[in-house]
Amino acid sequence: MEHASKVRTCLWFEKGGHDAAQEYVALVPDSRIEAVRENGQPNDPMIVEFTLAGAPMMILTAGPHHKLTPAVSISVLTEDQDETDRLWGALTGNGGEAGPCGWLVDRFGVSWQIVPKRMPDLLASDDPAVVVRVSEAMMRMGKIDIAALDAAAAKGPAHG
């Protein structure tokens, strides 16, 4: 048997792992299902190996013994507001739940961070006042609004 990756992140699901993997690879470019191992449960395969934007992942559907928590999340660095909005809407729709600061929980119970590339760029500013203003703006957001972060970064001491 050929294995695509030596290391891969594994998410434990009680049920619905194959459905989740199919949804995730449809949402994120450069993603694909690599292998499905049914283990006698054709309607809910035990193992689904997939790649999510080039990152190796696996879902193990093995019952209620362990629960998903926000201690493990999938972080997606988005290119722009359109991609941020698209992913946010798809993952919070159909039973997902929006959270603070770019975090959400999808309908399967998996935690995600949807982070526009602009945000870490602004938070890495050499100007400590910019970092504070951008951080404070981010803390008031659910879905990240790039224009609002840029506006917070641009405010000078006379406006702040």
Give how far Cα 49 sits from Cα of 100, 126, 127, 150, 156, Å: 30, 41, 43, 38, 49
Domains for the chain: give ranges and CATH numbers: 8-65 (3.10.180.10), 68-160 (3.10.180.10)
Q: What is the pTM of this model?
A: 0.89
**Residue 84 in this model has a pLDDT that exceeds 90:** yes
**Considering just the CA atoms, what is the radius of gyration of the chain in Å?**
18
pLDDT digits (tens, 9 = 90+) for 21-73: 999 999 999 999 999 988 766 667 789 999 999 999 999 998 889 999 999 99
Q: What is the pLDDT of residues 101-159, one digit of tens each?
A: 999 999 999 999 999 999 999 999 999 999 999 999 999 999 999 999 999 999 866 44
Q: What is the pLDDT of residue 98?
A: 98
Distance CA 113, CA 84 (A): 10
Q: What values do phi and psi take at 110, rounded to 5?
A: -85, 135
Q: Of 85, 77, 60, which Cα lies nearest the Cα of 113?
A: 77
Residue range 77-101: average pLDDT? Answer: 97
What confidence tens digit (pLDDT) does each residue in 7-29 have? Answer: 999 999 999 999 999 999 999 99
pLDDT at 38: 83
Buried b (16+ CB within 10 A) or exposed e, 62-75: eeeeeebeeeebbe
